[in-house]
Amino acid sequence: DIQMTQSPSTLSASVGDRVTITCRASESINIWLAWYQQKPGKAPKLLIYRASNLEGGVPSRFRGVGSGTEFTLTISGLQPDDFATYYCQQYNSYSYSFGQGTKLELK
C-alpha cells in the first residue's frame, strides 16, 4: 500500500503568515493527490484536487504544488478561518491512503 507522510504534525502560526505543509508518498502517485481541510466536529472539505487544482469556492490563498512523490500545500496570508487540520490523500491506488494530518493552530 502507498504510505502518505505529512509534515509537520502541528504548525503554529499567526494571522497573515504564510505556511507550507508537505506530503510525501512512498511511491509515485503522479498528480493524483487531494488536500482536505477539517474543522472540529465537521467532515473533511475538499480544497485541492489533482495536486494543484483549486476546488470551486476555495480562496486563492490556498495553493497546491507537486507531482510524483512530493507535494506541498501553501496558505498565504492566513485568515482566522484557516486554523484547522489539513490532510493529503492519494487516489492513485485502491488504498486511497491519507496523511496523518497537520493541525494548524494559532500562535
Partner 1 sequence: EVQLVESGGGLVQPGKSLRLSCSASGFNFEDFALHWVRQSPGRGLEWVAGIDATSPTAVYADSVKGRFTISRDNAKNFLFLQMSDLRSEDTALYYCVKGGFQLLFHWFDPWGQGTPVTVSS
Cell 502541528 appears where? 10
Min. distance of Cβ 99 from partner 1 in angstroms?
A: 8
Closer by beta carbon to partner 1, 69 or else 102 = 102
User: 82 by DSSP, 3-state: which?
Assistant: helix
* Secondary structure string (H, E, C) spanning 7-43: ECCEEEECCCCCEEEEEEECCCCCCCEEEEEECCCCC
The answer to the question of residue 11 lying near partner 1 (CB under 8 A) is no
* 99/12 Cα distance (integer angstroms): 19
What is the per-residue binding string for partner 1 in 16-45, x denoting contact by CB under 8 A?
Answer: ----------------x-x-x------xxx
Closer by beta carbon to partner 1, 56 or else 80 = 56
Min. distance of Cβ 100 from partner 1 in angstroms?
A: 5
